Amino acid sequence: MAPRKLLVFWVVFMSLFFFFTDPPFASAENVNFDFPCFNFRNLTFLGDSHIRNGVVGLTRELTVPSSSAGTVIYNNPIKFFDPEANITASFSTRFSFSITNVNPTSYGDGMSFFLSPNNRILGSPGGYLGLVNSSQLTKNKFVAIEFDTRLDLHFKDPNDNHVGLDIESLTSIKTADPILQDVEFKSGNSITAWIDYKNDQERLKVYLSYSSFKPGKPALSVDIDLSEYLKEVMYVGFSASTEGSTEVHLIENWSFHTFGFVPTRPRLQPHNVSDTDVVVSPRIPVSGSTNKHHKRLGLGLGIAGPAFFCVALVVFGYVSVSKWMNMRRQKSFKAEVIAGPREFGYKELKSATGGFHSSRIIGHGAFGTVYKAFFVSSGTISAVKRSKHSHEGKTEFLSELSIIAGLRHKNLVQLQGWSVEKGELLLVYDFMPNGSLEKVLYQESGQGTLLDWYHRLNVAVGLASVLTYLHQECEQQVIHRDIKTGNVLLDGNFNARLGDFGLAKLMDHDKSPVSTLTAGTMGYLAPEYLQYGKATEKTDVFSCGVVILEVACGRRPIEREPGSLKMVNLVDWVWGLHSEGRIIEAADKRLNGEFKVEEMRKLLLVGLSCANPDSAERPTMRRVLQILSNEAELLGVPRVKPSLSFSSGLPLSIDDIVSDCEECSSPTSSMCEIIIN
């Protein structure tokens, strides 16, 4: 039989087959499963979730404060609505969990049990509980019970220990404090939770206990009709997240079942069904008369042809509309930036980078990988930044493009152009032949030219100049949020050029900064930024102060003490020498004293004043520029490093914030990245 005829035969055959047999979901079945312990067979693990010794971990177990998000989802979709009977299922679930902290002074953010029509739900770290994306708060649809361990005023949390019902938003419909039932989420003890929803009563209840006995009184009771949120098919699972924390979320066991569907067929007794299998009743065929069979055959043949044609028409229409919408979105995007930098062709950039060959890689940024590009037609060299993932990187791409395209300063990396073809997001910059300040400062001995004192001082002045421009001279203030030596590039004359605006935020000068998700690099983050998540110009000043100290001392922000496991904080180390009147001893020994003592003293003291733990005592970048340019007097720096005080409990001590980085085992990897999409 010819292939084309065979295809037609199978289409007609399958159409008749499905017509004569009942639909696979002719009637809904109640579902029941029980996991006394876990394995990989029945679950989907996303993000940082994992399994160890039969226990599910939702976040990473690290001794160093970090940011993490993980989700685990039951593989099989579960029916919650029977369209034939117009019945929404009730459900009940029971699970045991624990929330522990390697560092007792660290906390946040919590976990949740959720139901969602999406089986790929994975959100951002921090207060987003791994449920929603920080840049698309309304994208994920869900019904969730949150077990929150951090007070987040952005989501109107009542305290740092509460259970709440969330529907498609992290602002809870209703919350309750489990401490009223002597349950503390952060105790580290195993807690058993029961969640019951009865559709006929339109009521959801949450019970919590340290024991395996269900208490008589619920911790949370909400009168609500979930029928409009429980779709025909849903997925169930757990999610959790942390932000600058060592909190670990574990699920020890889990059982779940739906009820309320009325069986419409006799059930056969299942055999050899494990306790992790879903119980589904087998189908029983029903015979009919020959006459009815012939009628159904004729009717089936009459319907199969038109039905197949309609399906083909719908598929063709869907593909056509999708292509049209994609072209429209691309044209709209191009229209937004048409007045900006040049649009490059994808083929041109691919050719210039040797097909994005690994040998052309010159660095990595918040947005993606950076390649060296040779343009044969013009004989020029550029740097091309390529996104890691087209969807996740689009927010950072638009952020960087919209910000840097409108900025002009001699100490900024100049954007040449962009491309959005082939699902790739690409930015083209001026090429910086001397690479990053980090690379030059910390290169192995004998592998390059040591940065002399004149160039170091020039780098500090250039960085202060460009930050003054961003903070005070732009129409809209720009907070960079990721000032570090890796993002300070050096041109052919070793002038500083600030780049990587993937984390930058625009704000009006007359508006207070809004709360944002903590982002940046450990060792450069201001204490109040880690505490409150608010990026201000003073958080950039703190990071700049750390960079200035690196330039003067030739040491990383966090380094392991030679011959010891102790981690040394650069700011603390320099301040210690200052308190003893020996601050000049902090100067980079590789300079061999080839610098002006007063200039070195000034640079070190400017670095300390910028890195003051008290943000109110830090100077503006304009004042820093004036001091380094000898246009203003040096600020007084206290001999003893100021102590921190916050209105609420600090998640980390100041030593933990900038010193406790146990993952940093070598001088070449002495910083922990905290990057959030």
Query: What would the mean pLDDT of 606-633 be, rounded to a whole number?
Result: 94
Q: Is the dihedral of CA 96, 102, 104, 106 positive or negative?
A: negative
Task: Enumerate the H helices of 484-583 as residue ranges.
Answer: 527-532, 537-553, 570-579
CB 135 within 8 A of CB 519: no
What does the pLDDT read at residue 609? 96
CATH 1.10.510.10 for the 437-674 domain, yes or no? yes
Q: ∠246-250-252 over CA atoms, to 5°?
A: 160
The residue ranking higher by pLDDT, 31 or 445, is 31
What does the pLDDT read at residue 473? 86
CB 627 within 8 A of CB 587: no
CB 118 within 8 A of CB 44: no
- Give yes or no for residue 22 having a pLDDT over 90: no
CB 83 within 8 A of CB 70: no
Nearest to 559 by CA among 658, 413, 439, 457: 658
Question: Which residues on neighbouring strands pair with residue 145, listed in sequence order?
Answer: 113, 165
Domain boundaries, the chain: 32-259, 310-339, 343-430, 437-674
The residue ranking higher by pLDDT, 334 or 516, is 334
Query: What would the mean pLDDT of 279-305 be, rounded to a whole number?
Result: 50
Assign 3-class secondary structure to 117-136: CCCCCCCCCHHHCCCCECCE
- Give yes or no for residue 607 having a pLDDT over 60: yes
CB 13 within 8 A of CB 33: no
Structure confidence at residue 395 as a pLDDT band (50, 70, 90): low
- Tens digit of pLDDT for each residue in 462-485? 999 999 999 988 877 888 888 999
From the CB of residue 437, how many other CB atoms can be counted at a distance below 10 Å?
25
Give the length of the chain.
Answer: 677
Helix (H) or strand (E) holding 441: helix 437-441
CB 221 within 8 A of CB 86: no
Nearest to 62 by CA among 243, 186, 185: 243
CB 344 within 8 A of CB 331: no
Helix (H) or strand (E) holding 261: none
- Tens digit of pLDDT for each residue in 92-149? 999 999 998 877 677 778 999 999 988 877 777 777 888 887 766 777 889 999 999 9
Say how many Å lie between the first and final Cα of the chain, rounded. 54
What does the block give as tokens for 297?
Answer: 């055959």
The whole-angstrom separation of Cα 261 and Cα 87 is 7
Give every CB contact of residue 67 below 8 A, 6+ residues apart in sequence. 125, 126, 241, 242, 243, 244, 245, 518, 674, 676
* Least trusted range by pLDDT, from 70-79, 297-306, 564-573, 654-663: 654-663
What does the pLDDT read at residue 589? 94
Does residue 82 have an active-site annotation?
no
pTM above 0.75?
A: no
The residue ranking higher by pLDDT, 283 or 112, is 112
Helix axes 537-553, 597-610, angle to 10 degrees: 150
The residue ranking higher by pLDDT, 536 or 299, is 536
Residue 254 main-chain phi, psi, to 5 deg: -160, 130
- Tens digit of pLDDT for each residue in 299-313? 665 666 667 767 777
Query: What would the mean pLDDT of 189-211 be, rounded to a whole number?
Result: 94
Q: Which CATH class is domain 343-430?
A: alpha beta
Helix (H) or strand (E) holding 174: strand 174-176
Structure confidence at residue 323 as a pLDDT band (50, 70, 90): low
Domains 343-430 and 437-674 share a fold: no
Please tell me whether 385 is known to bind a ligand: yes
* Least trusted range by pLDDT, from 146-155, 272-281, 514-523: 272-281
Active site residue: 152, 160, 196, 482, which one? Answer: 482
**How does DSSP assign 592-639, residue by residue?**
TT-S-HHHHHHHHHHHHHHT-SSGGGSPPHHHHHHHHTTSSPPPP--S
Residue 71 backbone class (left: φ over 0; alpha: ψ -120 to 50; beta: rest): beta
Query: What would the mean pLDDT of 202-212 be, rounded to a whole number?
Result: 93
Q: Name the amino acid, one letter, at 348.
A: E
- Tens digit of pLDDT for each residue in 169-198? 989 999 999 988 889 998 889 999 999 999
Q: What are the distances in angstroms from CA 588 to CA 442, 444, 510, 546, 551?
A: 11, 15, 41, 15, 8
Average pLDDT, the chain: 79
CATH of domain 32-259: 2.60.120.200
